[in-house]
C-alpha cells in the first residue's frame, strides 16, 4: 500500500537515539513485575485485567524525563513494551493455573512447584512473542490505516505528547498512593468493611452489596458505562431473579450440588451452590459464541497472515525484525522443551497441540486486537475451545484422571498466555511503528519482560493461594474455576449439567437480543458485590462524558486523566493486596501479622462507614479530572 510506504514515523529511520538502554530495561522489568502482580490480584478477584501500556509509558516519562532529566521517546517506548509484557503474561496465567492449586486442595494431584509454574509461563510467553514476529509486516505495516490497534495508537499519542509526561505520571502515582492507603485502611487495619452486604427478608433469596474497593471503581471507569452496565445486568438477573426463584421453588429440599436444604443456605449459599454453575455455562457459551462470530475474520486473518509470513520491510532500522532463523530455532527449542522437561506435564501430543493451536490463536489474537482492542479479545473463548479439544483428545488416547486433567490445564495455560502475549506484542509493535522504534529491539524487550514476569508469577500465585486460597470470597478466581469445571466435565462427567445448560441458553438469549454476551455472563457468574462498584465507576465516567458546560476537547482531556488515575487505583490496590497476602502468612503469636493489624485501631466502622468512604473515593476521581488544576485551566 502506497500510503504505508509514505508513512513517516515520529523518529525517522535514519536517526539513532537511545532506545535499548540499561535504564529502559531495568525500569521496564520493574514495571513488568509490578503490573503483573497487580493484574494477577485483580484478575483473580474479578476475572478481568487491564492494559498496562499507557500507565507504564507515563510512569516511564515521569521518571526518565523529570527525575533523570533525559529526553528519549524510544526509551519510554521500550519501558512500556517490557512493562506491558508482565501484565499480559499474568493475565494468561491466572485464567488457568489456579485450577491446579484448587485440585491440590481437593486432594486431586499435587501442588505445582515454582519451577513448574515459571517454565510453563515462560514457554507460553516466548512462543507468544515469537509467533508474532513473522506477522508484523503483514498486520502492522501493510495494514496501517486498516487495523487501528486502539491501545497501540493511544499509547503512541501519549508518548508523542511527552511534554505532558510529568503531569500525567503524577496522576497515575496519585491514584496508586490513594488506593494503597485506602486498601490498607479497609483490608489491613479493618477500619471499615471492604464488603458491604444487605439481604431482604421480604424478598427471600435476594441480596445486594458492594465491595467498596478502589480497583473495582477503577475497572468500571476504564471499561466505561456500557460494559459496566452489562456486568451489573448479569448480577441483577442472578441476585434478584434466579436466586429468589431457587429459594421459592426449592424450599426445604436438598438439591445437588447443594449439601443442605435451600431454605437454610442464605444468599451466599445459593450463589455458591447453584448460580456459579449457571454463570459458568453462560461464560463458556459467551466465549465460544464470540469465537464463532469471529470465524470469518479468523479465516481471513490466517490466510492473509500466511501470505505475508516472514516478510521484511527493508534493511533500515525501523524495518528489521528478529531473523526468521532465530524465530524458527526458538520455536523448535521451546516445543521440544515443553515435551522433554519433566517439570512440564505435557507429552509429545500435547506439545504438538500447543504449537498448532498456539500459532493459530496467536495469529487470530494479533488481528483481533487490531480491530477491537485487547479488552475485547476473546482469549477466554480460545482457552475454552483449546481445553475442550485437548481434553477430548487426551481422554480418547487414554490420558484420563489426574494426569489427563493436569495436562489439559497446562496446555490451556500455554495457549492462553500465547494469545495474550501475541495481542500485547501487536499493540506494542504498532506503538513502535508510529514513534519510530526498532522492531527487533522491541521483540527482544518483550522476551525480557516475559522472562522476568514468568520468574515472578509463580511466587505471586503461591503467595495469594497461601493467604486466602483460590475459590474463596477474597479470590474467587472466576476464569480459572470455569476452566477447571470444563476439564472436569469432559474427563469425569460430574458437572450439574442442568444448571450449566441453563446458563448456556441464557447466553444464547442475550446474544439474540444483541447484547454483548461475555460481560453479561461474567456479571451473572460473579457476585453482584463486584459489579455494583464497577457500575459506580462507569457512572462517574458517564457523567464526565455527558456533562454540559464543557467543550469536547476539555471533556476528552479530563476523561483521559480519569483513565490514568483509575489505572493508578488498580495498581495501588493490587500491590497492597499482595503486601497484605504477605502479612497474612507471617506468624505472630496465636495468629498472623495480618490478624494483629486488624486489632490495632480502637474503632471499626460498619456498612455505612464503608459506603461513606467509597463515595469519598469516587470524589477523588473528580479531583483529578474536573477539579484538577489542568481541568480548571481548560475551562
Of the pLDDT bands very low, low, confident and very high (cuts 50, 70, 90), residue 630 is low
Residues 168 and 188 in one domain: no
Same domain for 467 and 541, yes or no, is no
- For the ranges 44-48, 182-186, 538-542, the lowest mean pLDDT is seen at 44-48
> How remote is the C-alpha of 9 from its chain's centroid?
30
Closest alpha carbon to 197 in 532, 477, 522? 532
Q: Three-class SS string for 205-229?
A: CCEEEEECCHHHHHHHHHHHHHHHH
Q: How confident is the model at residue 543 (pLDDT cuts 50, 70, 90)?
A: very high
Residue 591 φ then ψ, to 5°: -130, -135
Q: What is the pLDDT of residues 602-624, one digit of tens each?
A: 888 888 999 999 999 999 999 88
* pLDDT-derived band at 19, boundaries 50, 70, 90: very high
pLDDT confidence of residue 309: 54
**What is the residue range of 594's domain?**
175-254+528-634
Are 547 and 156 contacting, i.e. CB atoms less than 8 angstroms apart? no
According to DSSP, residue 299 is labeled: H
Q: Is 587 helix (H, G, I), strand (E, B) or coil?
A: strand
HSE toward the beta carbon, residue 574, CA cutoff 13 A:
32
Position 312 scores a pLDDT of 56
- Which DSSP string corresponds to 539-555? HHHHHHHH-SSS-HHHH
Which cell numbers in the block locate residue 522? Answer: 461474567
Q: Domain check: are 151 and 189 in the same one?
A: no
| Stretch 529-552: mean pLDDT | 88
611 within domain boundaries: yes
Q: Is residue 208 part of a domain?
A: yes
Whether residue 398 is found in the same domain as residue 481: yes
Q: Are 562 and 220 in contact (CB under 8 A)?
A: no
Q: Is the same domain home to 413 and 474? A: yes
Among the listed residues 221, 212, 180, 187, the one whose alpha carbon sits nearest the alpha carbon of residue 573: 180
Selection from 489, 465, 298 nearest residue 384 by Cα: 489
Question: Quick one: 55 and 120 in the same domain?
Answer: yes
Q: How far apart are CA 386 and CA 142, in angstroms?
A: 30
Burial of 23 (0-12, 13-18, 19+ CB in 10 A): middle
Q: What's the pLDDT score for residue 81?
A: 94
| Beta carbons of 536 and 547 less than 8 angstroms apart | no
* 464 sits in which H/E element: helix 439-467
In this structure, are residues 500 and 489 in contact, taking their beta carbons and an 8 Å threshold? yes
| Mean pLDDT for the stretch of residues 570-581 | 82
Q: What is the largest CA-CA distance in the chain?
A: 77
Distance CA 578, CA 463 (A): 8
Residues 86 and 147 in one domain: yes
Residue 543 lies in a domain: yes
pLDDT in the model for residue 197: 86
Please write the tens of the pLDDT for every residue from 469-516.
Answer: 898 877 888 888 888 888 888 887 777 888 889 999 999 999 999 988
- Kindly state whether residues 319 and 446 are assigned to the same domain: yes
Q: Which residue, 453, 486, 519, sits at the end of a domain?
A: 486
For 323-382, what is each residue's pLDDT tens digit? 888 888 999 999 999 999 998 988 898 899 899 888 888 877 887 777 656 655 667 667
In a shared domain, residues 17 and 153: yes
Taking Cα atoms as reference points, which of 209, 192, 190, 191 lies closest to residue 200? 209
Domain shared by 372 and 397, yes or no:
yes
Taking a C-beta distance cutoff of 8 angstroms, is the pair 510, 234 a contact?
A: no
User: Where is average pLDDT lowest: 142-156, 519-533, 570-584?
Assistant: 142-156
pLDDT at residue 631 in the model: 52
Euclidean distance between the first and the last CA atom of the chain, given in angstroms as a whole number: 42
* Residue of 280, 354, 306 whose CA lies nearest to 524: 280
Residue located via cell numbers 485487547: 374
Residue 149 grid cell = 490497534
Judged on CB neighbours under 10 Å (0-12, 13-18, 19+), 303 is: exposed
More confident residue, 444 or 37: 444
| 301 falls within a domain | no
Residue 1 has pLDDT above 60, yes or no: no
Segment holding 588, helix H or strand E: strand 587-588
Which pLDDT band, with edges at 50, 70 and 90, does 305 fall under? low
Report yes or no on 393 lying in a domain: yes
Do 434 and 368 lie in one domain? The reply is yes
pLDDT tens digits for range 163-184: 455 567 788 888 888 999 999 9
Q: pLDDT higher for 457 or 52?
A: 457
Cite the DSSP H helix spans in 150-189.
Answer: 150-160, 165-183
Per-residue pLDDT of 206-239, as tens digits, reads 989 998 989 889 888 887 898 889 989 999 999 9
Provide the pLDDT for residue 606: 85
Of 486, 512, 547, the last residue of a domain is 486
Give tens-digit pLDDT for 91-117.
889 989 999 999 999 887 788 899 999
pLDDT for residue 5: 54
- pLDDT tens for residues 385-407? 788 888 888 888 888 888 889 99
Total number of domains constituting the chain: 2
- Among candidate residues 294, 447, 498, the one with its CA nearest the CA of residue 380: 294
pLDDT tens for 425-447 read 998 999 999 999 999 999 999 99
Residue 493 is assigned to a structural domain of this protein: no
The yes-or-no verdict on residue 307 having pLDDT over 70 is no
pLDDT value, residue 549: 74
Q: From the CB of residue 197, how many other CB atoms can be counted at a distance below 10 Å?
A: 16
Domain membership of residue 219 (yes or no) is yes
Asked which of 486, 510, 538 is the last residue of a domain, the reply is 486
Residues written for the chain: 635
Count the neighbouring beta carbons within 10 Å of the beta carbon of residue 2: 6
All cell numbers assigned to 608 = 455505612
- The per-residue b/e assignment along 562-583, b for 16 or more CB within 10 angstroms, e otherwise, is bbbbbbbbbbbbbbbbbbbbeb
Q: Which three cell numbers stand for residue 350?
A: 500435547
Same domain, 144 and 193: no
pLDDT, tens digit, 9 for 90 and up, residues 267-294: 888 987 888 788 878 877 877 786 677 6
pLDDT in tens, 124-167: 999 999 998 888 877 788 777 777 787 787 788 778 766 455 56
Q: Is residue 346 part of a domain?
A: yes
Alpha-helical segments (H) within 309-438? 324-340, 348-372, 379-396, 401-435
Amino acid at each position: 500500500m502506497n500510503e504505508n510506504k509514505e508513512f513517516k514515523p515520529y523518529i525517522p529511520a535514519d536517526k539513532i537515539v537511545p532506545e535499548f538502554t540499561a535504564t529502559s530495561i531495568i525500569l521496564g522489568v520493574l514495571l513488568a513485575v509490578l503490573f503483573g502482580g497487580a493484574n494477577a490480584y485483580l484478575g483473580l478477584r474479578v476475572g478481568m485485567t487491564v492494559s498496562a501500556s499507557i500507565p507504564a509509558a507515563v510512569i516511564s516519562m515521569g521518571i526518565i524525563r523529570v527525575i533523570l532529566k533525559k529526553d528519549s521517546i524510544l526509551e519510554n517506548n521500550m519501558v512500556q513494551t517490557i512493562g506491558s509484557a508482565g501484565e499480559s503474561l499474568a493475565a494468561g496465567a491466572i485464567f488457568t493455573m489456579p485450577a491446579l492449586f484448587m485440585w491440590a486442595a481437593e486432594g486431586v494431584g499435587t501442588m505445582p512447584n515454582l519451577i513448574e509454574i515459571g517454565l510453563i509461563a515462560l514457554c507460553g510467553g516466548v512462543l507468544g512473542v515469537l509467533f508474532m514476529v513473522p506477522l508484523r509486516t503483514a498486520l502492522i505495516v501493510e495494514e496501517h490505516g486498516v487495523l487501528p490497534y486502539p491501545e497501540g495508537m493511544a499509547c503512541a499519542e501519549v508518548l508523542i505528547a511527552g511534554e505532558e509526561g510529568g503531569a500525567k505520571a503524577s496522576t497515575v502515582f496519585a491514584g496508586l498512593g490513594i488506593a494503597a492507603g485506602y486498601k490498607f485502611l479497609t483490608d489491613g487495619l479493618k477500619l471499615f468493611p471492604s464488603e458491604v452486604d444487605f439481604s431482604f427478608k421480604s424478598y427471600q433469596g435476594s441480596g445486594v452489596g458492594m465491595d467498596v474497593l478502589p480497583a473495582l471503581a477503577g475497572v468500571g471507569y476504564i471499561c466505561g458505562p456500557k460494559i459496566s452496565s452489562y456486568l451489573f445486568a448479569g448480577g441483577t438477573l442472578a441476585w434478584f431473579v434466579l436466586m429468589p426463584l431457587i429459594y421459592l421453588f426449592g424450599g426445604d429440599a436438598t438439591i445437588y450440588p447443594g449439601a443442605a436444604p435451600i431454605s437454610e443456605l442464605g444468599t451466599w449459599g445459593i450463589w455458591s451452590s447453584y448460580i456459579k454453575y449457571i454463570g459458568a455455562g453462560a461464560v463458556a457459551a459467551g466465549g465460544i459464541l464470540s469465537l464463532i462470530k469471529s470465524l470469518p475474520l479468523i479465516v481471513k486473518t490466517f490466510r492473509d497472515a500466511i501470505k505475508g509470513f516472514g516478510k521484511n520491510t527493508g534493511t533500515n532500522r525501523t524495518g528489521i525484525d528478529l531473523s526468521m532463523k532465530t524465530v524458527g530455532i526458538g520455536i523448535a527449542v521451546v516445543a521440544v522443551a515443553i515435551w522433554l522437561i519433566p517439570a512440564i506435564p505435557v507429552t509429545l501430543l500435547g506439545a504438538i497441540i500447543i504449537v498448532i493451536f498456539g500459532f493459530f490463536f496467536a495469529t487470530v489474537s494479533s488481528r483481533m486486537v487490531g480491530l477491537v482492542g485487547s479488552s475485547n479479545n476473546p482469549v477466554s473463548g480460545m482457552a475454552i475451545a483449546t481445553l475442550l479439544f485437548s481434553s477430548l483428545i487426551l481422554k480418547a488416547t487414554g490420558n484420563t484422571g489426574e494426569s489427563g486433567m493436569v495436562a489439559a490445564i497446562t496446555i490451556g495455560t500455554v495457549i492462553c498466555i500465547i494469545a495474550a502475549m501475541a495481542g500485547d506484542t501487536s499493540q506494542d509493535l504498532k506503538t513502535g511503528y508510529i514513534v519510530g522504534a526498532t522492531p527487533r529491539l522491541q521483540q527482544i524487550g518483550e522476551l525480557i519482560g516475559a522472562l522476568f514476569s514468568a520468574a515472578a508469577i509463580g511466587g505471586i500465585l503461591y503467595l495469594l493461594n497461601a493467604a486466602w486460597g483460590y475459590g474463596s470470597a477474597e479470590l474467587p478466581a472466576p476464569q480459572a474455576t470455569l476452566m477447571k469445571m470444563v476439564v472436569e466435565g469432559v474427563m469425569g462427567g460430574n458437572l450439574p449439567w442442568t444448571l450449566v445448560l441453563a446458563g448456556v441458553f441464557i447466553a444464547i438469549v442475550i446474544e439474540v437480543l444483541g447484547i454483548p454476551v461475555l460481560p453479561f455472563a461474567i456479571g451473572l457468574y460473579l457476585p453482584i458485590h463486584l459489579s455494583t462498584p464497577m457500575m459506580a465507576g462507569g457512572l462517574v465516567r458517564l457523567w464526565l462524558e455527558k456533562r454540559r458546560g464543557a467543550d469536547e476537547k476539555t471533556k476528552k482531556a479530563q476523561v483521559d486523566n480519569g483513565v490514568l488515575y483509575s489505572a493508578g487505583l488498580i495498581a495501588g490496590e493490587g500491590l497492597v493486596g499482595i503486601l497484605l497476602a504477605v502479612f497474612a502468612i507471617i506468624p505472630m503469636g496465636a495468629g498472623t501479622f495480618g490478624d494483629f493489624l486488624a486489632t490495632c485501631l480502637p474503632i471499626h466502622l460498619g456498612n455505612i462507614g464503608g459506603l461513606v468512604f467509597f463515595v469519598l473515593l469516587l470524589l477523588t476521581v473528580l479531583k483529578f479530572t474536573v477539579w484538577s488544576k489542568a481541568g480548571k485551566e481548560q475551562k
